Structure 1
Amino acid sequence: MWVMIAAGVAGYFLEARKVPLAPLILGLILGPMVEENLRAGLIKTSGNPLPFFTRPICLTLLMLLVAAFVGPWLARRFRPPNGSSQTRKFRGMTEQKGDV
């Protein structure tokens, strides 16, 4: 019964914070499988994680992961300021449109 109450309270707070449920459910379902396979891979390589990154598919997935984390930051960094079509920011200096 306590598990049901805790799940209800957690669900209420997740809904109040507008947390999407699909990634949460995917994480809950796939998390144990990923952990089990990671553990098996580490046992096969005697605890050395380096062989995971020697295959092309692993390097591709690693690059996609880095792009997923760095991409939004770069987009925000180089986006023009909101509502200012007349001015541009470039390295901390503002330049009026038409200035040379």
Structure 2
Amino acid sequence: MGDVVAESKVDFGALAALHKWPSLANQRRPDREPYQVNEGTLDECITAFMQKPAATRHLYEIRTAPQPPLVTAVLSPEHVIELSRWREFL
């Protein structure tokens, strides 16, 4: 993926929202819908996500307008962590 990142631009100023899944015993509740906990730019939502305890990050996702090939409409915790790393290099 490193080559793709070098050739791609990510708009970290794009509108985004951080969502949290309702949980039971630190596990996502598949019978419930995630709710919004933060709204702002992609950069702000990544920062808010990274401030969450690592043990609970799997309960969060970021929703934003897709920016192919690097940014999908719903960003998983693993994807957010990768974007956070790339952001530091850009």
Q: Same fold (TM over 0.5)?
A: no
Range into which the TM-score falls when normalised by the shorter chain = under 0.3
Report which structure shows greater RCO (CA 8 Å, sep ≥6): 2
Q: Higher strand proportion, which one? A: 2
TM-score norm. by structure 2 comes to: 0.21
Q: Higher helix proportion, which one? A: 1
Whose Rg is larger? 1
TM-score norm. by structure 1 comes to: 0.20
